[in-house]
Amino acid sequence: MAATYVKRAFRYRFHPTDAQAAELSRTFGCVRKVYNLALAARTEAWARQERVNYNQTSALLTAWKKTEELAFLNDVSSVPLQQALRHLQGAFTNFFGKRAKYPRFKSRKKSRRSAEYTTSGFRFRDDRLTLAKMSAPLDIVWSRPLPEGAAPSTVTVSQDAAGRWFVSVLCDDPGVKLLPVTDTAVGVDVGLDHLLTLSTGEKIANPRHERRDRSALARAQRSLARKAPGDGTNRAKARRKVARIHARIADRRRDGLHKLTTRLVRENQTIVIEGLSVRNMVKNRRLARAISDAAWSEFRSLLEYKAAWYGREVIAVDRFFPSSKLCSHCGKLAKSMPLHVRTWTCEGCGTTHDRDMNSAKNLKAAGLAVTACGAGVRPQRRAPGGQSAMKQETPWREP
């Protein structure tokens, strides 16, 4: 198996001292301030039909540090401040390339608290990581070792809404090896009653992580709602309690999806999924919570990058492909397929189908056709019969 070098981030918890926490909090605030100042400067220039690039904002940062009002920017490392300007440059590059919307200002309450350090802003020796402006290394919980001989190129420190501190170490991982090529392929149909239905006949139950903690989350949210906005300490405690429950749900969901996607990539050379528009689907108020909890978009994202690592192929079939109404045995298309119908019998060949299983088999066949004949075999872009883009596989409703 050939080895490939991939950029891989390893994320760890750490426990800062009071002095380190104060230093990092100041850094987070300065990063946000510099980003917003640079965005304001570029927006004003944009109104004058002028372009401001990274080099010009870097010169502005030097000038800001010399002013009395912004002299506090000198108290933190300059590396994460420069990285904030690079991130803003990337945001504008994506905007001009029509890949993203116009950059927005960072909010103190809602924006992610993080700072990025390049090699000049940290020292890593003997598994001890020391950031600029700090005399002692971070107390990191090394839950797994870094690749042998790996030299971190970027370190990102962050704090989530639950108050937990994380450090993400980016380095080249030589341990990722291409898996042996096989002839196995699988179609994957996602749903809410069952999270996944495979063309092999296997159905994977939906763990519904959010539902397990729904009552505790509701109590915590009611407690937070009773706290007045000016009730600083008590409101902060209530907010952290809500955040901890959300974090626990997200951690369980992410862990389950990682295990599931790793298994699919290891066992199959080709994985065929349905290209769903989840952003449109969550507009359905009755299903939005359940769809968000299933995390179909995250499932696809994890599946795609792992397939790229290990030499596998992920094919997304057009979401308007009638996978549920098409008989996987004879190819006859049923006239209608209401959501409450979970099993149906084909009028052409008399085969009785499980709705989800039939859909998974059709997805696999369509994906293999794309592999053999090219993208020209993709189904029509319009929904058959004027149907909406909403996925037609799941009748389950959120109580």
Cite the active site residues.
189, 274, 356
Do 139 and 165 meet the contact criterion of CB atoms below 8 Å apart? no
Tokens of 132: 């600029």
Question: What is the Cα–Cα distance from 204 to 196, expressed in whole angstroms?
Answer: 5
306 Cβ contact partners less than 8 Å away, ≥ 6 residues apart: 261, 262, 265, 312
Chain-centre distance for alpha carbon 9: 14
Tokens of 296: 């179909």
Maximum distance among all alpha carbons in the chain?
82
**Segments in the chain forming alpha helices (H):** 18-47, 54-65, 78-96, 209-212, 214-225, 232-267, 278-281, 288-294, 296-310, 355-373
Q: How many residues does the chain have?
A: 399
Question: Which amino acid is it at 103?
Answer: P
152 Cβ contact partners less than 8 Å away, ≥ 6 residues apart: 119, 122, 124, 129, 146, 169, 170, 171
Listed residue (316, 299, 291) closest to 263, CA to CA: 299
Q: Which DSSP letter does residue 217 get?
A: H
Do 145 and 17 meet the contact criterion of CB atoms below 8 Å apart? no
Strand boundaries in 165-231, DSSP class E: 165-177, 185-190, 194-198, 203-205
**Location of structure tokens 């989350």:** 217
Tokens of 336: 């209608």
Question: What is the Cα–Cα distance from 252 to 243, expressed in whole angstroms?
Answer: 14
Listed residue (308, 313, 306, 311) closest to 272, CA to CA: 313
Query: CA-CA distances (angstroms) from residue 63 to 45, 60, 69?
Result: 17, 5, 11
